[in-house]
Amino acid sequence: MTPTETPINTGRVIIVGAGLAAQYAALKLSPHPVLMISPEALGAGASSAWAQGGVAAAMDPADSADAHARDTVTAGAGTVDPGVATSVTAEARDHILDLTGLGTPFDRTSDGSYVLSREAAHSFARVVRVQGDQAGAEIMRALTVQVREADHIQVLEGVMATALEVTQGRVTGVAVARCDQGQSASVTLRGAAVLLAGGGSGGLYALTTNPPRIRGQVIGMAARAGAQIADAEFVQFHPTAMACGLDPAPLATEALRGEGATLVNRLGARFMPDAHPDAELAPRDIVARAVYAQTQQGLAPALDTRAALGAKILTDFPAVAAACQQAGLDPLTQVIPVAAAAHYHMGGVATDGEGATTLPGLWACGEVASTGLHGANRLASNGLLEALVYGRRCALAIDAALPSPADAAPVTLPDLPAAETPDPALVARLRQAMTDGAGVIRTAEGLTRTLTEIAAIEAAQPDCEALANMTATATLIAAAALMRRESRGAHFRSDYPQADGATGTRSLMTLKDALAIRDTTTRKEPA
C-alpha cells in the first residue's frame, strides 16, 4: 500500500513502539527531538507492561555479573554470544539503580536491600521485582511519567507503523497509519534516524501471553525493507500460561515456581521431577515441552500453589490472583490449569553490539531485535534487562551518528482516508497454522504445511500491508525452523530430536531467503 500523502519531514528521531525499550531509549536520547509511534495510549498495549517476573541483575553481594553471564550462556543452549552476555550482565546493576532513581518502587527489605527472586535456570536469586508480579507494569508506569514530562519527546498515540522508507539503501522514514478506529491509509514520516522497538511475535500463535497487537508486524516491516533477521526459529513458549479460555492467556509467573509451587496433572501427580533434575525450575523449553506433552495426553496440567503459597498468592502475586478471579478460579482451594503459550521471540532484527541493524539509518532494541544475548532459549527475566541495556546503547549510538540536536516542530498527521484492515478470519488462520506446525514441537511435514498455508493467507488479501508484515515474520520463523535440522533450546524437531553438538550457530536470513525456501519447499511437482 503506497502512502497517500506527501512525506512529512520531522527532523526527529522516530521510535516505533512505546514499551520499555522505546521509552528508555527516548529518555536517553535527550536533548535530540524524538517522535514515538504508539498504537495504544502511551504505556498500554506493550508486552513490557505485562512482564511479571522482573529484571535479572546480580544485586546480592554473594552473586556476580560473571555468574549471571554463565547462566545466560547455559540456558541459551549453545548459541548465545558470550561477549554479549558478559557485557549485558555487567551493566545490569547500573540499570536497576537508574530505574530506582526514575521512581520504580522495587520491593525492598527492611534494611533497604532489593528483594530478589530465583527463576528457572538461574543459579542464584537475582530477579529484582515489584509487588511480587508487578515489575513490568510499575517500571512502565515510572517511565511513562518521565516521558510525558520530557520536552524533547512527542508521542503520536493511536498510530501504527506500516512500512519503512528506504532511499538508496538507507532507511529514511516510516509509513504510519491511524489505528484507533479501524485503520487509515498511510503517510510517510521522515526523520533523522529510525529506532525499532515495537515488540515481538507471540501473537502469531493461537495461544499466547502477548498483548493483542504484538503479532510480528515490526520484525516483518524490517524484513520487507531488506533487513537481516537472526534466530527467527527460536520462539519461547511459557509453560504456565493460564488455560482458562482467554485470549491472550493470562500468565502465571515463573516466580510462583521459584516460591515452591509445583506442576501436577489431573491425577494429582507431579511430572517435572521425571523430566529434569531441577524439576519445576528446569529451563523453560524443557518445562514447556513437559506441560505440552501432558496436554497432548489429556492429563490437564496445572500449577498447584496451595501448599507453597496459600493466601500469600493474593497479596504477593496480585496479577495472578486477579486473573484467577477473572477465570472463576480460587487458587487457595484449586489448582490453576496451565498450557504452553507463545511468550517471547528470541529471534528478530539482527543488530550489532550498539543496536545497529544491517540497514543504515535503522537501529533496533527490545524484543524486536536479536542481539545474541538470548540464544536458543532466553534466561528468565533477561528480556527486560536486554531492553534496558540496548535501549540506552541505541540512544548513545544514534546520538553519535547525528549532528548537534536542533529544534523540531511538533508533528501533526493530516486527515487520512480509511484503508483495508487484515481480515480477522485470515489472522485466525495464520495463528492456528503457526500453532499447529511451528509450535512447541515441530516436524518437516508440519513446517512445510505451515509455509503453504501462510502463502495461501497472503494470496487471499495481497494488498493489506499489516497482514503482509505478519506473514513475513511467520514465513521467517517457519523457514528458519525448517532449515534447522536439529533440536536446540526452544526449537524442538521431533524428526531431529538431538542437538547437533554442544554449540550451534545462529541463523541469519533475509525475507528473500525465506521466500525462496518457501517457494522451493511448497512447489507442487508437475502432474
CATH of the domain at 488: 1.20.58.100
Asked, for residue 89, whether it belongs to a domain, the answer is no
Whether 284 is catalytic is yes
- Mean pLDDT, residues 61-87 taken together: 97
Domain stop point among 313, 342, 371: 342
Asked, for residue 188, whether it belongs to a domain, the answer is no
Separation CA 227–CA 133 (nearest Å) = 35
- Mean pLDDT, residues 298-315 taken together: 97
**Domain housing 443:** 424-523
Alpha carbon of 503 to those of 78, 282, 303, 489: distances in Å? Answer: 4, 19, 33, 11
Could you give the number of structural domains in the chain?
2
- Mean pLDDT, residues 235-239 taken together: 94
Asked, for residue 439, whether it belongs to a domain, the answer is yes
Give pLDDT tens digits for 361-408.
Answer: 999 999 999 999 999 999 989 999 999 999 999 999 999 999 999 889
User: Does residue 293 have a pLDDT over 50?
Assistant: yes
Residue 347 φ/ψ, nearest 5 degrees: -80, 175
Asked, for residue 116, whether it belongs to a domain, the answer is no
Assess contact for 397 and 93: CB atoms under 8 A.
no
Check residue 329 and give its pLDDT. 94
CATH (domain of 267):
3.90.700.10
Pairing, β 348-350 against β 369-370? parallel
Separation CA 391–CA 393 (nearest Å) = 6
Give pLDDT tens digits for 10-63.
Answer: 999 999 999 999 999 999 999 999 999 999 999 887 888 777 779 999 999 999
User: Does residue 331 have a pLDDT over 90?
Assistant: yes
DSSP 76: T
Of the residues 284, 289, 392, 442, only one is catalytic, namely 284
Check residue 484 and give its pLDDT. 98
Burial of 146 (0-12, 13-18, 19+ CB in 10 A): middle
Cell of 439: 509450535
Separation CA 96–CA 85 (nearest Å) = 17
Give pLDDT tens digits for 444-489.
Answer: 999 999 999 999 999 999 999 999 999 999 999 999 999 999 999 9
User: Does residue 525 have a pLDDT over 90?
Assistant: no
Domain stop point among 325, 342, 359: 342
Cell of 427: 489472522
Residue 313 φ/ψ, nearest 5 degrees: -60, -30
Separation CA 471–CA 105 (nearest Å) = 39
Separation CA 373–CA 23 (nearest Å) = 21
Pairing, β 229-230 against β 348-350? antiparallel
Check residue 4 and give its pLDDT. 63
Burial of 110 (0-12, 13-18, 19+ CB in 10 A): exposed
For residue 248, cis peptide bond before it (omega within 30 degrees of 0): yes
| pLDDT band, residue 86 (cuts 50/70/90) | very high
Q: Any bridge partners for residue 488, and if so which?
A: 491
Assess contact for 2 and 182: CB atoms under 8 A.
no
What proportion of the chain, given as a percentage, has pLDDT over 90? 88
3-state secondary structure of 150: coil
Encoded amino acid at 429, one letter? R
Domain stop point among 282, 310, 342: 342
Give, for 15, the enclosing helix (H) or strand (E): strand 13-16
Residue 517 φ/ψ, nearest 5 degrees: -65, -45
Separation CA 395–CA 402 (nearest Å) = 11
Q: How many CB atoms lie within 10 A of CB 111?
A: 5
Separation CA 399–CA 31 (nearest Å) = 9
Q: How many CB atoms lie within 10 A of CB 434?
A: 27
Q: How many CB atoms lie within 10 A of CB 407?
A: 8
User: Does residue 347 have a pLDDT over 60?
Assistant: yes
| pLDDT band, residue 526 (cuts 50/70/90) | very low
3-state secondary structure of 508: strand
281: alpha, beta or left? (left if phi > 0; alpha if psi -120 to 50): alpha
- Average per-residue pLDDT for the chain: 94
Check residue 527 and give its pLDDT. 36
Lowest mean pLDDT among 164-168, 253-257, 510-514: 253-257
Asked, for residue 195, whether it belongs to a domain, the answer is no
Give pLDDT tens digits for 193-214.
Answer: 999 999 999 999 999 999 888 9
Asked, for residue 313, whether it belongs to a domain, the answer is yes
Encoded amino acid at 445, one letter? E
3-state secondary structure of 393: helix
Give pLDDT tens digits for 129-169.
Answer: 988 778 888 999 999 999 999 999 999 999 999 999 999 99
Asked, for residue 97, whether it belongs to a domain, the answer is no
Encoded amino acid at 87, one letter? S
Asked, for residue 35, whether it belongs to a domain, the answer is no
Separation CA 277–CA 164 (nearest Å) = 47
Pairing, β 369-370 against β 362-364? unpaired
Q: Which residue has the higher pLDDT, 258 or 448?
A: 448
Residue holding cell 491425577?
267
Residue 467 φ/ψ, nearest 5 degrees: -70, -40
Separation CA 367–CA 215 (nearest Å) = 12
CA angle (119, 385, 104) in 5-degree steps: 95
Separation CA 383–CA 202 (nearest Å) = 14
Check residue 407 and give its pLDDT. 87
Find the helix packing angle between 444-460 and 465-483, rounded to 10°: 160
CA nearest 251: which of 326, 199, 139, 200? 326
